[in-house]
Structure 1
Amino acid sequence: MTHQPRWRWTASPAVAVGLGVVLAAAGLLLGRPDVALLGAPLLVAAALGWQRLPAGEAGAAVDAAPGTTATTTAGEAAVPDGHHVDHRVDYRVTLQAPPGVEASLVHLTVVGGRSRLLAVSPSTRELRGRVRLLGVSGPQEVVRASLALVAPDGAAVAGPLGPAGAERVLAPAFAPAADLPLPPGLRGLSGVHDSSRPGQGGDFRDIGPFTPGDRLRRIDWRATARRSRTAGEITDLYVRRSLATSDAVAVVVVDSRDDVGEVVAQWGANRADRRGVSSLHLARQAASAIAAGTVRRGDRVAFCDLLAAGRSTAVGSGDRHLRRVLAAVATTRATGVLAGVRRLPPVPPSALVYVLSTFLDDVAGGAAARTWRSRGHRVVAVDVLPAPRLGGSTSAQRLAHQVVAMEREDRLEDLRAVGVEVVAWAGAGGASGRRAQLRALSRRRPR
Structure 2
Amino acid sequence: MPRTAEEISHALLDAARTAGAEAADVMVTQGTSVSVEVRSGKLEHAERSEGTDLGLRVFIGKRQAIVSSSDSRPETLAAMAERAVAMAREAPEDPYAGLADPSEICQSLDAGALELCDPTPEPSAEALMQDALAAEAAALAVAGVTQVSAAGGGYGANSIHIAATNGFSGGYRRTSRSISCVAISGIGTGMEREYDGDSRTWQADLRDPAEIGRIAGERAVAAQGARKPATGSFPVLFDERISSSLIGHLLGAANGAAIARGSSWLKDALGEQVLPAGLSVIEDPHRPRVSGSRPFDAEGLPTRRRAIVENGVLTGWTLDLASARKLGMRSTANAARGISGPPSPSNWNIAMTQGTASRAELMRDMGTGLLVTSMIGSTINPNTGDYSRGASGFWVENGEIAYPVNECTIAGNLRDMLLRMVPANDARTWLSRVVPSILIEGMTLAGN
TM tier relative to shorter chain: under 0.3
The structure that is helix-richer by fraction is 1
Computing the radius of gyration from Cα coordinates, the structure with the larger value is 1
User: TM-score, structure 1 length as denominator?
Assistant: 0.25
Give me the TM-score of the superposition, normalised by structure 2. 0.25
Higher strand share: 2
